[in-house]
Amino acid sequence: MHAVASKRGADDRPQDVLAGWITEFLSHARFERGLSSNTIESYRRDLEMWRRFSGAEGIGETPTNDDLVEYLSRLRTGRPPAARALAPSSVARAVVSLRSLYRFLAREGRIESDPTSKLSAPRQPRSLPKAIGLEEVTRLVELPSPDLLGRRDRGILEMLYGSGIRISELVSLDLDDVDLDEGSVLVRSGKGSKARRVPLGRSAARAVGDYVHATRPELLKRSSGGSARGAVFLNARGGRLTRQGCWKILKRYAEEAGLGPRVSPHTLRHSFATHMLDGGADIRVVQELLGHASLSTTQVYTLVSDARLREVYLTSHPRARG
């Protein structure tokens, strides 16, 4: 028998109550914890799936451990409410979303205790970030032609690799955030809304400067409104370039360079970090440049560098393979 919180009126339907709690939690996460829009949207998707499941199963306001275990089992095996079997990483994220919601509710006194306290997330295989080599980076960033949109695209590719910022951070940049004379970028939209300033190398600064002075004014003339006036990177219609639009640009050049399957939205960021460490950069410097809150997040790149060292050793040393 499912427990129902006694603080609610008898006429309140558990699913209506849960929907209200989810809305309250998301508002708290956005405005009080300052979490990014992407994180909020992930919470929203996960918790909406949980709400559908608990409604279909007649679960009360406070689920039992058996309820939670059954829900996660369905996610892993692709049974409703999941449309397909989810990867361990997605199931682990669902656990984080549930924990965050119910810890919040217990802390705020909406429920007596946290039902997720004994819930364990599935173990995930550790995946290493995939970087491409320096020659491949060079081939990629030099592909755009020197025409109107080509100059924009060259600026995008050079900045992604030259600064290591995320695509979501790049499309959020305004002109005031870029100092071409100093060669730096102020990133205001990082995870947790923590601003950081990162250097911009000569190649990137030159490419962005060419775009800003020669291409951007022409694209801005195509804009039907003033919403994109401060944006650094514009689309072909003069509006602010979106994350999806930027990813399409990167994907197109990756295919032209013969790198298609090996390039993702984070590939140039991964390559930036890996090449910095390969070149002798201190890991804490790389952590600051990437905007990682925890050093352990950055340390995964040292595993990539170690793997590269081992590969070079095995292929180069005359007695490495016995």
Active site residues: 166, 191, 266, 269, 292, 301
Question: In the block, which residue shows the tokens 């209506």?
Answer: 16
Question: In the block, which residue shows the tokens 């020659």?
Answer: 135
Residues 6+ apart with CB under 8 A from 186: 176, 177, 178, 179, 195, 196, 197
CA 231 to chain centre: 21
Q: What is the C-alpha separation between 2 and 263, in angstroms, rounded?
A: 47
Q: What is the C-alpha separation between 71 and 68, in angstroms, rounded?
A: 5
Q: Spell out the long-range contacts of 67-71 with Cβ–Cβ below 8 A and sequence spacing 24 or more.
A: 67/2, 68/98, 68/115, 68/116, 68/119, 69/119
Q: How far is CA 294 from CA 196, 286, 288, 311, in A?
A: 15, 12, 10, 28
Contact indicator for 117, 231 with CB cutoff of 8 Å: no
Per-residue exposure over 39-58, b if at least 16 CB sit within 10 Å of its own CB, e if not: beebbbebbebbbebbbeee
Question: DSSP 3-state assignment of 141?
Answer: helix
HEC secondary structure over 29-76 = HHHCCCCCHHHHHHHHHHHHHHHHHHHHCCCCCECCHHHHHHHHHHHH
